[in-house]
Structure 1
Amino acid sequence: MPVITAPHAFNEGQLYVDLRPIFGRSLFLKCEGFNFAGSIKLKAAVEMVEAAEQDGLLSKDSVLIESSSGNLGVALSMIAASKGYRFLCVTDSRCNLSTRLLMEALGSEVHVIADLDANGGFLGARIDYVRALCASDQRYVWLSQYTNPGNWGAHYRRTAPEIARQFPRLDVLFVGAGTTGTLMGCARYFREWHRPVRIVAVDTVGSVAFGGAPGRRMIPGLGMSMRPPLLDESFVDEVIRVEEADTIRACHRLARRGFLFGGSTGTVVSGAMSWLAEHDERDLTAVAIAPDLGERYLDTIYQSTWLEDLYGDQVLDPKAKTAPEGLTTATRDAEPVPRTPDGRRKP
């Protein structure tokens, strides 16, 4: 029985759900929500805070500040409370109410930005707000998850090795793309591995992370309204974009079997099932990363009024669109990338 004195000391990293009984295709879902922060963001938060401490950037008077759509904000709130720091989270109106209340319950301050940036998102406005606060008071310490190498380093050192130990014959890995910290950390690790692993990034329609036109995005977590500074596309084999309606259908399909996951997980599962429907998955070992659980989405993607107001009353009807398994209309952006026997891209 583990006994801990700090909340971030516990993080279950070896729990997988076999999705074949639910979706009819072989996919193992790595569950990253079983920690006191409730999401995969705990790993990056710990890495970035400890690096700032080692570099002498934090003192007893410091105020941690970060832009977050929710999950990283919760993780930093928890760590700040444990370590005795103040924390200010700059978020926007898409952040779930339960997430904002949770951060405040942990003693953090939350500022909500309502102004859109040039790409129709909130990220640029949030970052401008953070920069202005940092310029106004030297006590603010901005960890900058969008540029901090600790973001991807946490997954290079922890998430990817956890998968490798459990699945030594891994063929394809599906990773959601937000800041791309998880994506880049895992992709870098498996590029150096003993066998080639296809890395499939799953993004949401309306995100401009991999190019394309910006569009409305109401579910926080995945997607960006700017190109992620951490992103190096040479490590990514394919990109799949998922409509938010398909994210919602995947979440509800999982929930009907007793698995309550968050919106980011629904997007990744939807994209993965679309990819598997187009490939012979009988001899493939496929893993997808589930970033969070679903309790914080009860007033959004699991609330009928919210769904109908934004997506119409047919959003949960699997016959509303024709797609593999009646689940997803995700689109694949990239052609398969030729690889050398050691897994590297051919010139």
Structure 2
Amino acid sequence: MAEDLAQGRSLALAMPARPPDGWLDALRQALRDRASLEVERMSANGDAPLAQLASRFAGADAANLPALVVAPAFAGQCVAILDVPGEHWAAWCALLTQFEVATRGCSLFARPRLLVAGGAVALSSPPAPQPGLIAHRWNGAAAPLDLRLYAAILFEEAAGPPWQRQLAAAVSAELALWDPELCEFCRRLTLADLLDPLVPLQNWAAERCWSAEDPAMNEAAAWHLGCRHECDGQPREHAAWLALRGDQASLAQRVWSAQVGVLFPLLERHRQSLIGRWPRRLTVPYTTPSGQRIEDRRDLELAHIAAQWRGLTDMRREREFAVWLRDLRNCLAHGEPVAADVLQSPMWQERFGRPEQ
């Protein structure tokens, strides 16, 4: 946006309902750095756009648009008209098109620029692009990697063992994707709620007055409210919007994705630890039920370890642990998230996440 304005173009900008704090100040600073331009802010008050601009910058001397664009007080100005209501967008959109034509003869130094920002209607009904007029959609700067880092900071001092903090942070980031406010909300949830987030997210959506039954909830309106967003170049849906629609499967997929990243490395470390701790209680060569022959003890999977210890009284406790680890791994390997009551089994909480060296 700053580059377009610095080059003398006017902008039609579609903004979300909850824009990030300080975005206008950041734009002002970028324009100062690029072109020594200042941004003057106005609010659409319901008057005709031309009359509103003329009243602010030229008074009675500007009876028409050509007169306004050469008015001394308007020359070189960069004016941001924010929060244009949907019912007034068409009038401002028409003015932008006429304004682009009227300013073509102005030098870059003397040319005024307009930034007109609206909501959903600005996304669904932008002005036609012209050499001096461009339509933008605010896509924000937060990406999944930003949210992972933010979640890691938020959960740094959370209660529980390190693996639970890591898992809670990973699930929160996977649910939030681009929304730091949702990440902050997740910080207040228990791990059990994070792993089954349907109801908490439905409550969060209700606080934002989202409704899956709203007939006006088209694609543009969903983007404006924050229900949908472009994330890493792909259209994604907000987790609370999924919850509001009862899309448990999509939420489970996000929880599973976070669990895989945290739990699979732990499961592998425990597998290696069991092999290293009990080399004499694990037989190789070993032929699996499917007929695979394993020559190297290090290639034994958790299922193989548990099978070899079946019926060994002195290895009963170790086998129970190996079976629990095996079941976690099998669940994740089949694309299913591990339920909180299984993952937080009191029997193994002191041991899980601390594989013996």
Task: State the TM-score, normalized to the length of structure 2.
Answer: 0.31
The structure carrying a bigger helix percent of its residues is 2
Greater CA radius of gyration, 1 or 2?
2
Task: State the TM-score, normalized to the length of structure 1.
Answer: 0.32
